[in-house]
Chains A and B, each alone.
Chain A
Amino acid sequence: MVRRAGGPPSRILYGVIELQHLTKRYGGTLAVDDLSFTVEPGHVTGFLGPNGAGKSTTMRLILGLDAPTSGQALVNGRGYTSLRKPMREVGALLDAGAVHGGRSAYNHLLCLARTNDIGPKRVVEVLEQVGLAGVARKRVGGFSLGMKQRLGIAVALLGDPGILMFDEPVNGLDPDGVRWIRDLMRSLAAEGRTILLSSHLMSEMALTAERIVIVGRGKLIIEATVAELTARYPSLEDAYMALTSDSVQFGAAR
């Protein structure tokens, strides 16, 4: 299925997410406006911006859930929808609630694993890794938000991918869970993986991320390291507030 125009990739970059003039228009609103940046392996890249800034839309565009109006997003030098076994290259958690509540955690993971020829052994492994082994046979509908977040992270980890994207993974997690996510993100990055992480918790982001991408109204505001930002401003939070003060609006929130 052809959902994205463009010739063969000019160069293959392993473990890289590359946005080239990515634009998405919903009716009259530009949710993502000519966005270009690159996410590289080996560290956590924090993806920040006010509500409605286009973070989630950008992630949906990278994953081929939405078709861009123009521009393109490449993972490992290719469009996501052209990947044969995408779970082995990219893992993503967009919306922890996007599960059928009647299915057990094990069956939820199993049906997704099968699409990419991932065996049941790996399903059991990730269930243990995220701490859901004890409730593997329970219906997902009865899970708390924190448990659903862990299940969503398990889905992302199934294919042992080099690139991981998480949209607000600490939402609904207890302090234990927040620390667990922080350690998980850091260890995944230390293994040389590429991590794109969106969150509104600035203190958490300052602890976890090394690089920061801030967007506002669908446009790139700044791409910098956390060290650069905290050198110029008292804290990451102050940097964020100063840089996004013009961009707080409620755009095409989806």
Chain B
Amino acid sequence: MKAVLSSEWVKLRSVASTFHTIGAAAAMVVLGIAWTVYVGALADERGMLRAAAPEEGFLPLVQMSLAVLGVLTITSEHATGMIRTSLVTVPRRSTLFLAKAGIVALATLATAMSVLLLTYVTSRLIAGERHLGFNESAFTNDLPMLLASGLSVTALALVGLGLGAAMRSTAGALVSVVSLLFVLPGVINYLPPPWNTRIAALLLPNLVPQIASERMSSRLGDGYLPPWAALAVLFAYPLITLTIGYYALKRKDA
């Protein structure tokens, strides 16, 4: 297993797409700085305001970028035929798939936490003593939200890996990830209450605030799930999709 993990690490660091997706995720830092400078200037005119925290507002960018990383980890192998070369060297498909999942989890968690913390720190430093709303709570209060955000990125990247293995298609897996992250939450919003909130509480993007015991959104209000349950649902997403992906890899001829 150690040998296959180190092989997957070489695979990940030796293709340009890895750095493109990490670069796209890191754009959050730049956007966070721009956002803080903008709302800081508004605050200088009006005295104070309540702006959204950049590491929350731009989270979908990091989620999407690193979900692409998770998808490509497996679909690039199916698209090129590399999967057959890989399976000849590692005929135990469970070992290969677990190693891929492990490397995707480590790489995306490290990237997401670095980007989130960097965005957090730079935006607070630029905000300084201004009253921007998001910069007025202590770091310890913000920590659950940061950790939940980081975990959600990794969960989504693993969902991407699982869907990629199940569909063997980059486009198919990406469309599914986009549906989970953007389309479905948008549609559920317009269900008649209380069903919109009930179902929305189970959707990936809304699990993050529930884990941190915060309001889901102004439209949906508070969530239904206590933090531990929201965390369990967050873990269920990758667990289910990885299981489906593993069976597809194991059962079907490569």
User: Which residues of A are interface residues toward B (Cβ below 8 A)?
Assistant: 1, 60, 63-67, 80-83, 86-87, 92, 94-95, 97-104, 107-108, 110-117, 155
**Contact of A99 (CB < 8 Å), options: B8, B82, B89:** B82
List 18 A–B pairs whose Cβ atoms lie within 8 Å, in order of A's numbering: A65-B84, A65-B254, A80-B91, A98-B82, A99-B80, A99-B81, A99-B85, A100-B15, A100-B76, A102-B15, A102-B16, A107-B14, A111-B10, A111-B14, A112-B85, A112-B89, A113-B7, A115-B4
State whether A155 and B85 are in contact (beta carbons under 8 Å apart), knowing that A81-B91, A83-B91, A102-B15 are contacts in the complex: yes
**Contact of A116 (CB < 8 Å), options: B3, B17, B85:** B3
Contact residues on B (Cβ < 8 Å of other chain), bracket = 20 to 34
B contact face: mostly helix, strand, loop, or mixed: helix
State whether A115 and B89 are in contact (beta carbons under 8 Å apart), knowing that A67-B253, A102-B16 are contacts in the complex: yes
Contacts of A81 in B (CB 8 A): 91-92
- Is B3 touching A115 in the complex (CB atoms < 8 A)? yes
Return the 6 tightest CB-CB contacts between A and B, nearest first: A98-B81, A107-B14, A114-B7, A111-B10, A66-B253, A81-B91
Distance, CA A115 to CA B100, complexed state (A): 12
User: Which residues of B are interface residues toward A (Cβ below 8 A)?
Assistant: 3-4, 6-8, 10-11, 14-17, 76-77, 80-94, 250, 253-254
Contacts of B254 in A (CB 8 A): 65-66
Q: Which of A108, A112, A116, A155 has the most CB of B within 10 A?
A: A112
Q: Which of B3, B86, B89 has the most CB of A within 10 A?
A: B89
Give the nearest-CB partner of A98 in chain B: B81
How many Å from the CB of A214 to the closest CB on chain B? Answer: 25
- Is B253 touching A114 in the complex (CB atoms < 8 A)? no
Contacts of B250 in A (CB 8 A): 1
State whether A98 and B90 are in contact (beta carbons under 8 Å apart), knowing that A103-B14, A111-B7 are contacts in the complex: no
State whether A63 and B88 are in contact (beta carbons under 8 Å apart), knowing that A98-B80, A100-B77, A114-B3 are contacts in the complex: yes
How many Å from the CB of A146 to the closest CB on chain B? Answer: 18
Contacts of B4 in A (CB 8 A): 114-115
Contacts of B87 in A (CB 8 A): 63-65
Give the nearest-CB partner of A67 in chain B: B253
Give the nearest-CB partner of B79 in chain A: A100
Distance, CA A103 to CA B7, complexed state (A): 13
- Is A117 touching B15 in the complex (CB atoms < 8 A)? no
How many Å from the CB of B87 to the closest CB on chain A? Answer: 6
- Is A63 touching B81 in the complex (CB atoms < 8 A)? no
Contacts of A117 in B (CB 8 A): 3
**Contact of B81 (CB < 8 Å), options: A82, A92, A97:** A97
Give the nearest-CB partner of A85 in chain B: B3
Contacts of A86 in B (CB 8 A): 88-89, 91
Contacts of B86 in A (CB 8 A): 112, 115
